[in-house]
Amino acid sequence: MRRRTYLIPIVAVVVVGALAGVGAIAWAASSDKPEQPRAVASATPTPVPTSTLPPFPKRPLTAQTRYVALGDSFAAGMGGGGEQGRCVMSDNSYPDVFSAVAGVDLITNAACSGATTADLLKRQLFPLDANTDLVTLSIGGNDLGVAAIASDCAAGKSVPCRNGISSALSLLNLLPNRLDQVYTAVAKAAPNARIVVTGYATLYDASDPSSKDFGIAAAINAATIGLNEVIKDAIDRQRAKGVPITYVGVDFDGHGIGSAKPWVNTAGYTAFHPTATGYREYSTELVRLLGRAVN
C-alpha cells in the first residue's frame, strides 16, 4: 500500500512530460509571450496496510438480491447504444448487463451522465435502504472534468488539453475527501449492502513513442491511473472502518483507442466512453467477483 503515497506525484511528472512535446508548438503559437506552466499539486492519501483490512464479505447472490446502481455516465451506459433520457442511459449499461447475467434484481439504476460526487449525494441515494443487498457505483471522473479534457486532447487543442490535465491533477487533492463522503453516505443509507466501486478503464492502447498521438495517449492514461489509485485509497480507508466495500478494475488492454477492435467510442457525443462490448467487460469483472445467482 505504501507505494500509493508516491504514485500521484509520479503520475503528474509523467503527464506533464508527455504533454510537453505535444503542446510545445501550439503553446508557443497561441501567445505572444511565454506563459508559466501551472504547478501540479500532489494528492497524498493516507495509505492503509493491506494486511489490516477485513476481507470483503462473500455472500451468494440470489434472484431476490436487491441491487442498486449509482454513478456517472460509465454506470448509466453512455456509449452502449440506444441512449435516451436526460441522463443519457443505455440498456447496455454494465448494471443492466450484470443484473441479467448474474440473475439479480436491479431495483434501479440511479446513475446519470455528467454526475459528480456532489450530484450523487444530492440526487442518487433515494433508492437505498436497509433492504438493499448490493450497490455498485462509478464516480469521480466528472469532478476532474475528464470528459472535456479527453475531447480537447483528441481534437488536437493542445493548450486546453494541457491546462485541463494539469487542473485535473491538482483537483486530485480534493477528491479523497469527496469520495470519503460518498462512500460513507452510501454505507449509511444501505447499512446491509455490499458496495462495489468500479474503476475507469484506460482509454488508449500503448502506442509507438514516435507517433504523433503518443503524448496525448500517455497523458490521459496516466491521469486515469492516478484517478483509480485515489479511488482505491478511499475504498481502503472505508474498509479499515469495517465498511463492506471493494474495488473492481476493468482492463481494456488490446481494445483501447488505437487498437484494431476498440471497446471505446472514438467519435460523437459518446466519445471516450465504453461501447456495449466494453460494458460487457465491466459486467464480466463483476460476475468474476460476485458470482451468479444461486437458486
Sheet holding 245-248, edge to edge: 105-109, 66-71, 134-138, 194-198, 245-248
- Per-residue DSSP letter, 80: S
- Can you tell me which residue has the cell 479499515? 240
- Active-site hit among 73, 90, 113, 283: 73
Separation CA 23–CA 32 (nearest Å): 15
Question: With contact defined as beta carbons under 8 Å apart, do 128 and 68 qualify?
Answer: yes
What distance in Å separates the CA atoms of residue 236 and residue 224, rounded to the nearest whole number?
Answer: 19
Q: Spot the catalytic one: 113, 138, 158, 273.
A: 273
Residue by residue, DSSP assigns 222-258 as HHHHHHHHHHHHHHHHHHHTT--EEEE----TTSSBT
Per-residue cell: 62? 440470489
Helices (H), 128-211: 146-154, 158-171, 175-189
The DSSP bridge partners found for residue 136 are 69, 196
73 among known catalytic residues: yes
The alpha carbons of the chain give a radius of gyration, in whole angstroms, of 19
Residues 46-62 as b/e (b if ≥16 CB within 10 A, e otherwise) read ebbeeeebeebeeeebe
Q: Is 31 part of the annotated catalytic residue set? A: no
* Whether the Cβ atoms of residue 230 and residue 176 lie closer than 8 Å to each other: yes
Residue partners of 93: CB distance under 8 A and separation at least 6: 69, 75, 76, 77, 80, 109, 111, 279
Q: Looking at the annotation, which residues are catalytic?
A: 73, 273
